[in-house]
Structures are given as C-alpha cells and as structure tokens.
Chains A and B, each alone.
Chain A
C-alpha cells in the first residue's frame, strides 16, 4: 500500500538485483554452462508453475494435463521458426501466436470439463494431456505436421533485431554465452509474468476465481458467471504455458513429444502444491526447489559416495528419485499447506486509519 519504499526494502531490492545479475557469471565460472542452463530451466518452470497456479491455486480446478499447453506452445514455435516448413517468423510474432494457440487449446479442453470437479476433473485433464502428446507423436502421417517421434530440429533461437540469443557474443566488454543471454531474457520475462500474476490475483477476476474455489454454488448465487470465469482461468493458465513452451523450443533448438509426458505435468503440479497453492512467492519457491534439487542431487550424490565409501554403492540416478520422493513426503507430512503458504492477511484497514491518525 505504501507508495514510497522504506530504506530497508530498497536495500533488499538492490541486493536481489545484484544477486540476479551476478548469478549467471558466478555459475559460469564454476562449472561451465551446465548450471546456467539448469537455472534457465528453473525459470521456465516458474512460468509453468505460475500458470498452473491460476488454474489449481486460484480457481481450485485440479488440472493434471497442464503440460499439454507447454507442448502446444513449444510446437507452435517449432513449426513457425524452423526449416521443417521453411517458415522463419520473428519472435514478436511467434510468441504471441504461441500464447494465443495455447489459450485456444485451454478453452477447447476446458469447456467439456466445466461441470466436473476434483478427482473427475483430474482424470479428464490427465486424459487430455496424453491426447495432445499422442497427437504430436502421430501427426507425421498422412501429412507430416509434427515429424512424429523424431521431433523437430534446427529451431531458430530467439533473436531480437538481429541480436541472437544463441552462441557467444560480447556486450560492453563482457563475454556472454548463449545460456547466459537467455538467462537475462528469462529473468526479464519472469518479472513481467510475476507482476501480471500478482495483479490478476488482486483483481475482480482473481477474486472471482477464488470464490469459485471456495464455494461454487455461493459464487453463482452472488452473480459470478462460473462458466466464463473458469474458462478464463484455463485460458490464462494455458497462455503462460504456451509462452514457456515457445521459449523452451527456442532455447533447446529441438522439440519432441517425449518432453511432454505425464511426469512433467505432475512435476509442475508438485511445484504448485509443495510451494504453497495460491501463494505466488510460495509457488516460485516450489518451482525453483523442485527444478534445482534433482539436478543438485544428480551432481552431488556420486562424488559424495566416492568420498565416503570409495566406490559407488547406489546408482546416483535411482538415489536421486528416492531422496526426491522422500523430501516430498516429508514436506506433505510436516507442512501440508506447502513450504511457504500465504500468511493471514494483514490488517489493511487498521493500517489506513493508523496513517490518518
């Protein structure tokens, strides 16, 4: 509510900005570009988790097929910017198209599920998610649209006004690798996405979503058109998925249906639930933790075993999933509302009257 930042929060913002700017360079110094890539994927997962948070966290609609919209966005970009069809449209055209196409699919897949809730909705959306993946897998005949299981290769990277985000380049005397450049693009987009989500949450539409989550019949009785407002949630969530998918496509240069399996949907849902459903900072934390943690385990488990026992006792890959699963169980046992759930609302009214007095 306060227009002027207190010195403390100003200092905090400066610190966070400095950390965000320094991060890719620190990671780059350590161990090549692998960790920068991992952080980039973590930011993509933030987009996805925030998008799904609109559907699951705000509107309370359990969606197990969310990754389908990520796939739709990724393939939209891939088809419009690759030699597959020989189309190479610019980023400012494809990114909105990707969001719109995903949004369209959000409404398309959302509309048959409007009367479903809870478990039933989860099963149907799970089916839809798989349908999209299987379509992508098989749409190489009779007309080759998606190139089937081989996927689409040589996808154009993001480039703005002749400046390409792939490959190394020098800016202001600094040498920036491809992943490092993507990092800054992603951080900028992430800030935008977070602001949009915060604004939506505290808007008339955001309140209507929450009302539907709390009590759909009461929401109808106070005049909320639950059908339209639910479709809007599906559409908005899908759009964020579509944007994330587009950038994924451009960053990887390659997409194939196997990137969009059910486990991905479940991962994104786990990020939302684990972080704190409906609470934006919590969801961001969940996305960062669940995308970084498995990678950290992957790189950490092997060397630690070698140091302790002198040989590999357990295969790092299987131990990674074990630790990961255990962590999920523990969080759900001791923090059922998520790691960072929304706090009890502050007394805005008393704050205001206090300022006057």
Chain B
C-alpha cells in the first residue's frame, strides 16, 4: 500500500532574525502513509508546515511534491497541487455555516465565475448542486452532518476540528496535513479522532500529522520524524524512534 515518494523536503532552512527555526531539514513522505512529525514545543514543527504550505518562504531548500517543485509563497497554488492543511489554532470561517465552510473547500476544484453566477447558467447550477452535495457527504464523513446549518463559531471545539478536516478534504488533497488535531481533546475525543484519521488513510489520502500526543502518534503513524531546536534528529518507524536516546533526551531535556 505504501508506495513511491509523494513529498520530499530537501535542506529546508528558515530563520527569524537570529533564531534558526529550521536548519537543513530533509524528509520524505511516501504515498499512502501516515507520517508523524513530533518534537518539543518550539522545535519548528509548525514552521516547517508553514514553509511547506506557502505561508512562509523558506530561506533555503526546496519541496518536491508529486514529482514537481512546490511554488514558494503561494498557498493557493500549494492547495491546488493537492496539499491541504488544518491549523493548530483552528481557523474556520466563523460567521458562515459548517456547510458553507466545506463548500468553500470545493472552490479550488470548481470554476464558476461571475458571469455564470449572474446568468445562473445550466453549468453553474449543476456545479453548485455538486458542490453542495459533496459538502454534505463530507460532513457525514466527519460525522457532524447534524450541525450543517450552524455557524462554525457556534460548534463545539471537537466539532470545529472535524469541520476543519472536512474543509481540507473538500479540496481533494493528495496530502492532508494536520497541525496538532488532538490538542485540547479528551481521551474519548482523541480516540474518535484516531478512528477518523485511520479512515481517511484507508480511503487513500496520505497524512502528515504534527502532534504532541505521543501515544496517538506512535499508535497511528507508519513513520515518525523528530525535530529538536530546528534540526531533524531521526526519521524512522515508531518502534525505533521510541527507543532512540536522542529523542528521549530531547523530550526529557537530559
């Protein structure tokens, strides 16, 4: 099931003033796997995410995705290429309904313009119906279909996380990047989330997971990379990573 390289990061560097947030980080994500990126607070996990998805411009290195180089600093092109993400601090469109949030996710895969909307052409109406139907399906998929017409800001924390995943899935990603999806969740919610991520993997989407919950990462991921002070210290299967002395030191600060 796990196949060729989907994403290859080569020598990614990023510094903020004198702080070296990332130094020469290289890693590869293979198609079909769940790839975990862990590390202590401030290790540079989210910075790596932001460089990859085009919100930051890396100071060095490059990303190869599905055989092509990813454009730097163009988040919308990155999304078009097939990388979708969620945010550590949830970023939904708060004053729009859950359904509309997912419908916006379809934007990048649809093309109706102003003229079509004004004239309500057949093509526009069909596309709009398809967008709506797909959005409803995705809400079912993450099991919040009964909240479809509630404003996103009124959803519970766990449901907001799910909605963000549904919105990301709506862009038909090849690689789904989740930035600390279990943050602030209780044990039950985390177990449900794990089920959801497992399901997404079964359906053929590759997943990059940034997470603090080591149990979740070790149970779910096929391979794990560990960042510490902006450097990649190991990239291997969970069983090996767990026993690695450098990882233990990084976490326990020995």
Chain A residues in the interface with B (C-beta under 8 A): 196, 199-200, 203-208, 210-211, 214-215, 217-226, 232, 236, 344-350
In the assembled complex, the Cα of A349 lies from the Cα of B140 at a distance in Å of 12
- Residues on B with C-beta less than 8 A from A207 are 96, 100, 103-104, 107
- Check if A211 sits within 8 Å of B117, measured CB to CB: no
The smallest beta-carbon distance between B56 and chain A, in angstroms, is 11
Majority secondary structure, B binding face: helix
17 contacts between A and B (CB under 8 A): A200-B118, A204-B110, A204-B112, A208-B104, A210-B95, A214-B94, A217-B55, A217-B91, A218-B87, A219-B104, A222-B104, A222-B107, A222-B170, A223-B107, A223-B108, A236-B114, A346-B149
- Check if B84 sits within 8 Å of A345, measured CB to CB: no
The smallest beta-carbon distance between A355 and chain B, in angstroms, is 15
In the assembled complex, the Cα of A211 lies from the Cα of B168 at a distance in Å of 14
Partner of B131, one of A204, A222, A224, A345: A204
**CB within 8 Å: A-B pair count:** 111
Q: A349 and B120 in contact (CB under 8 A), knowing A205-B112, A222-B79?
A: no
The answer to whether B160 has its CB under 8 Å from any CB of chain A is: no
- Check if B107 sits within 8 Å of A204, measured CB to CB: yes
Majority secondary structure, A binding face: helix
- Check if A204 sits within 8 Å of B93, measured CB to CB: no
Chain B residues in the interface with A (C-beta under 8 A): 53-55, 75-76, 79-80, 84-85, 87, 91-97, 99-100, 103-108, 110, 112-114, 116-118, 120, 124, 127-128, 131, 136, 145, 148-149, 151, 167-168, 170-171
Q: Which residue of A lies closest to B152 (CB)?
A: A214
Partner of B80, one of A215, A223, A350: A223
Q: State the 3 A-B residue pairs at the shortest beta-carbon distance, nearest first.
A: A223-B108, A223-B79, A203-B117
Q: A214 and B93 in contact (CB under 8 A), knowing A208-B107, A223-B171?
A: yes
The smallest beta-carbon distance between B105 and chain A, in angstroms, is 5
In the assembled complex, the Cα of A200 lies from the Cα of B119 at a distance in Å of 10
The smallest beta-carbon distance between A249 and chain B, in angstroms, is 24
In the assembled complex, the Cα of A345 lies from the Cα of B120 at a distance in Å of 22
Q: Which residue of B lies closest to A349 (CB)?
A: B148
Q: Which residue of B lies closest to A208 (CB)?
A: B107
Partner of B75, one of A205, A206, A214, A221: A221
The smallest beta-carbon distance between A173 and chain B, in angstroms, is 37
